[in-house]
């Protein structure tokens, strides 16, 4: 029997993915399921999300950005802002554009361990995140190692 880790992975995806990206999503989901079966993760979920959200109305991004600051990484250019017209008006508003696929790993307390993609001296993709999970290295910088005493 595999001991529970308390770790969860959520794959956020846009609903309108083109064929090649849909196939990539299926491959990523299958890899996450294998990691769950291997005991690396307790829970794997796939959620759809809109391509963009008004800046200031995206609670997920706020949590991801807080993680990025604490981890010393950047979510740009994967998450970016742009001005768009409000539907049915001539008013323009800032929107946050989200990546087509995003992986978020949380710990047993629901705290974010990692968000992929991000930029850490170079781009870190969702595939990089899966590799880090498989190697047991997917933790926020400064996160305590549960195997070490304080």
Domain layout of the chain by residue ranges: 8-135
Q: Taking the model in full, what pTM does it have?
A: 0.86
Starting at the edge strand found earlier in the chain, the sheet holding 112-116 runs 43-48, 8-13, 101-106, 112-116
pLDDT bin (cut points 50, 70, 90) of residue 147 is very low
Q: How far apart are CA 93 and CA 31, in angstroms?
A: 38
Distance between CA 78 and CA 148 in Å, rounded? 34
Structure-block tokens of residue 128: 């990089």
d(CA 19, CA 120): 29
Higher pLDDT, 8 or 5: 8
Strand partners, 114: 105
Residue with tokens 């794959």: 11
- Higher-scoring residue by pLDDT: 116, 18: 116
| Residue pLDDT, tens place only, 110-134 | 999 999 999 999 999 999 999 999 9
Residue of higher predicted confidence among 90 and 117: 117
Predicted pLDDT of residue 73:
96
- Tell me the C-alpha distance between 60 and 52, whole Å: 12
The stretch 38-56 carries a mean pLDDT of 94
34 SS3 class: helix
Mean pLDDT calculated for residue range 24-33: 95
Percent of residues, the chain, with pLDDT higher than 90: 73
What CA–CA distance (Å, rounded) separates 50 from 15?
8
């Amino acid at each position: 029997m595999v001991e529970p880790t308390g770790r969860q992975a959520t794959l956020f995806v846009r609903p309108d993915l083109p064929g090649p990206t849909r196939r990539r999503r299926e491959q990523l989901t299958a890899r996450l399921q294998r990691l769950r079966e291997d005991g690396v993760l307790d829970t794997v979920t796939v959620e759809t999300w809109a391509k963009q959200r008004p800046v200031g109305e995206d609670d997920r991004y706020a949590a991801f950005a807080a993680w990025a600051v604490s981890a010393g990484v950047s979510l740009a250019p994967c998450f970016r802002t742009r001005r768009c017209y409000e539907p049915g008006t001539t008013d323009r508003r800032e929107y946050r554009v989200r990546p087509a696929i995003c992986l978020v790993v949380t710990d047993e307390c629901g705290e974010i361990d990692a968000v992929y993609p991000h930029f850490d001296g170079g781009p870190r993709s969702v595939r990089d995140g899966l590799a880090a999970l498989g190697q047991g290295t997917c933790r926020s910088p400064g996160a305590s190692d549960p195997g070490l005493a304080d």
